[in-house]
Amino acid sequence: MHRSWVAGAATMLIAAAALAATAAGGPQVRGAAAVDTARQLAADQEPGTWMSSGRTYDEQRYSPLTGINRDNVGRLGLVWYGDVDTERGQESTPVVVDGVLYITTAWSMVKAYDAATGEKLWEYDPQVDRAVGQVACCDVVNRGVAAWKGKIYLGALDGRLIALDGRTGKVVWSVQTTDPTQPYTITQVPRMVKGMVVIGNAGAEYTCRGYVTAYEAETGKQAWRFYTVPDEPGKPTTPELEAARKTWNGPFWKFGGGATAWDSIVYDPRTNLVFFGTGNGLSWAPDIRSPGGGDNLFTASVIAVNADTGRYVWHHQLVPSDAWDYDVTNPLMIADLKIGGRVRHVLMQAPKIGFFYVWDARTGKLISAEQFAPANWATKIDLKTGRPVENPAARYTVDKASLVYPAPLGAHNWHPMSYSPRTGLVYLPVTENNTGFQQLAADKFKVNARTYNTGTISGSAEITKLYEAPGAPPRGNVKSYLQAWDPAAGKEVWRVDQKDFGPAGTMVTASDIVFNGNWSGEFAAYDARTGAKLWSAPTQANVVAAPSTYTIAGQQYVAVLVGARGLPKGQVRTNPLSANNSRLLVYKLGGTASLPTAATSGPSTITTKLDPPLFTGTNEQVIDGQGSYARVCAGCHGPNAAADKSIPDVRYSTTLRSISDWNTVVMDGSRASRGMAAFRGIIGREESENIFHYVISQANKDKAAEQAKAARP
């Protein structure tokens, strides 16, 4: 829907009235977090508030504010910043309500600031046991809080759902939403649905069974729960899970099944449905997970349940019998789109798999599924059946490898996208990447709740051969861009290539500005209609999170949390509290604050130059070490020993100079308090040594490749 100018102007008038009421000492005192259904539904009449992570129930991340516009955005400047005391990835969107700005940081900590001045009002640390980091597949991150009737809600990494007093940060109640003996984690934003708080979990690389639960917001009492995969036969079940069981073979419940709903959950008041997407099955290799085949419902599916009861309404499995870690938990969004001459109430998603889906929100009928990024696993999506038309070469076995794109990182992962009803465009961070797959030999597959149980390897002689074939893409991460996608027409309208690889969330405003950070150390503003770059500011850090915007006393502010992985190229550490310069940055027109420039240091034995010792191992050690690394270490330290998140790149570690230094960290857990738990008991000494030689060998290869590249004219 394209909002008319007249309606827009009316909204602004009501907004001004609402602001005046608050300024005149209305009911919303500072830190009241006084969000309820009526206020959230009327969010457009209060555009200066960003009261939930996606701003509105439809999660469009579109702000009606126009104080910062295309003419004056060049004058945007830093007004205050807050140093964050955890490194690792910072993924939360600032929530701003009743004058207070709330963020979460890595390790599920919460900070509350005066939104105008940056004065820190309170902070809360749930004291998550750092050993939980060992089963957090994709870093110990958190994507933000929910606000409701005086309370701030947080999903903690260790599976707790915690309600805090919005004014003091004191715990009001806390429930354990998972079996703490199982490798579950939570990194997701809790969503408020009719006085309930809804939360899922993660862990589908380990041994988990996915589910989504609603709790009474006042008390923490469980209201409903929806399991995403069937239990073992004989256990009590629901009609839809009974039917789903027929799509599985073998004792799949022994691994849990996976299909965790770890990111998006959206409540649609219009249809009274709650939508969420589910993750991969467990293990990734379908032959291990469900020998003899089957679609394995409800893995890799988008599911709609009744908001009051949590009962099944509709589902669409995007990737039947998924073999490639193709989660479809990625951000879901509701909108009214004009398609084929009529306005449709739709649900949209740009999942990992490279096709942009548009459904009728009420019925789940697939309207379109056009390709938004290079994908070789399927040629198209059949609109009649909803099934992908697969490329047979993408399937792999123990003997046959495949080279697949997008890779498990996805063409689009959790990084929030935004939609402007004015331009009709979705603003989407896209990444191009690929990986090799081969199934692990049966005798090598041993389930361990503390390690990845994907049943696959990403490095082998067969995979290397595929990459050496003519026409093969360069291995790994290729490039990233900000894409403007027309969801009604199913096509790209413009794109802006990023200088460095890496996605970051987006936000769009009614003055047609898209805000988006990047991995070159910048936060930038683009023209929403053309993609022209209008403004940028240095962040001294990589950015993955999405920004938000709000007003205080009529002044528009833009806030973004930065920090992920290491530092951008050429950047030094300036935050004494975190190695990746994690910070909350807040801007307004005419802001004159600046970030510190003096370098500081902190603990770590990571060097900045790729300078490994000479390789002294054997070929056998490298081959065995490569397999063990992929199974046990790659989830955190990145595939092929190259870091892909805020965890040190082991190729740069000085521990490579001595096997005993290495084992002090790897086997004995000398860095356990920093998230590198002891691996004694999970791997043997010989296995640790094999990984050591593999990393040295890989580092030497990569160093040689770097030198060869530098020598080229």
Is 519 or 679 the residue whose CB approaches ligand HEC more closely? 679
Is 62 or 629 the residue whose CB approaches ligand HEC more closely? 629
Instruction: Give min distance, CB of 495 to ligand HEC, in A.
Output: 33
Listed in sequence order, the residues at least 6 apart from 193 whose beta carbon sits closer than 8 Å to its beta carbon are: 214, 267, 274, 307
The answer to whether residues 215 and 227 touch, using CB atoms and an 8 Å cutoff, is no
Tokens of residue 510, six digits: 């009614």
Is 296 or 655 the residue whose CB approaches ligand HEC more closely? 655
The answer to whether residues 435 and 415 touch, using CB atoms and an 8 Å cutoff, is no
- Tokens 């003091």 -> residue: 168
Instruction: Give min distance, CB of 602 to ligand HEC, in A.
Output: 9
- Tokens 């939570």 -> residue: 186
**Number of other residues whose CB lies within 10 A of the CB of residue 116:** 19
Q: CA Rg, the chain, in Å?
A: 24
The answer to whether residues 524 and 535 touch, using CB atoms and an 8 Å cutoff, is yes
Is 386 or 669 the residue whose CB approaches ligand HEC more closely? 669
The answer to whether residues 252 and 272 touch, using CB atoms and an 8 Å cutoff, is no
Cα dihedral sign for 274, 275, 276, 281? positive
- Identify which of 168, 160, 163 has the alpha carbon closest to the alpha carbon of residue 188: 160
Instruction: Give min distance, CB of 566 to ligand HEC, in A.
Output: 11
Is 539 or 655 the residue whose CB approaches ligand HEC more closely? 655
Instruction: Give min distance, CB of 137 to ligand HEC, in A.
Output: 8
Interacting residues with ligand HEC (CB under 6 A): 133-134, 604-606, 632-633, 635-637, 647-648, 650, 653-655, 662, 665-666, 671, 674-676, 679, 683, 691
Listed in sequence order, the residues at least 6 apart from 663 whose beta carbon sits closer than 8 Å to its beta carbon are: 685, 688
Is 173 or 615 the residue whose CB approaches ligand HEC more closely? 615
Instruction: Give min distance, CB of 671 to ligand HEC, in A.
Output: 4
Instruction: Give min distance, CB of 134 to ligand HEC, in A.
Output: 4
Instruction: Give min distance, CB of 530 to ligand HEC, in A.
Output: 41
- Identify which of 278, 177, 156, 161 has the alpha carbon closest to the alpha carbon of residue 229: 278
The span from the CA of 271 to the CA of 307, in Å, is 9
Instruction: Give min distance, CB of 103 to ligand HEC, in A.
Output: 21
The span from the CA of 521 to the CA of 541, in Å, is 5
Residue-wise burial string across 350-377, b where 16 or more C-beta atoms lie within 10 A, e elsewhere: bbbbbbbbbbbbbebebbbbbbbbebbb
Is 124 or 452 the residue whose CB approaches ligand HEC more closely? 452
Is 595 or 606 the residue whose CB approaches ligand HEC more closely? 606
Instruction: Give min distance, CB of 630 to ligand HEC, in A.
Output: 10
For residue 710, give Cα distances in angstroms to 21, 171, 243, 252, 479.
62, 55, 58, 50, 20
- Identify which of 187, 179, 233 has the alpha carbon closest to the alpha carbon of residue 207: 179
- Tokens 């390789």 -> residue: 615
Is 395 or 565 the residue whose CB approaches ligand HEC more closely? 565
Instruction: Give min distance, CB of 277 to ligand HEC, in A.
Output: 24
The span from the CA of 360 to the CA of 380, in Å, is 19
Is 31 or 133 the residue whose CB approaches ligand HEC more closely? 133
Instruction: Give min distance, CB of 433 to ligand HEC, in A.
Output: 21
How many C-alpha atoms does 557 have within 13 Å on its Cβ side? 28
Task: Report which residue type is found at 105.
Answer: T
The answer to whether residues 373 and 358 touch, using CB atoms and an 8 Å cutoff, is no
Tokens of residue 693, six digits: 């030689």
Instruction: Give min distance, CB of 178 to ligand HEC, in A.
Output: 17
Maximum pairwise Cα distance, the chain:
75
Is 328 or 564 the residue whose CB approaches ligand HEC more closely? 564
Is 177 or 653 the residue whose CB approaches ligand HEC more closely? 653
Instruction: Give min distance, CB of 89 to ligand HEC, in A.
Output: 11
Is 12 or 659 the residue whose CB approaches ligand HEC more closely? 659
> What is the separation of C-alpha 580 from the centre of its chain, rounded to a whole number of angstroms?
18
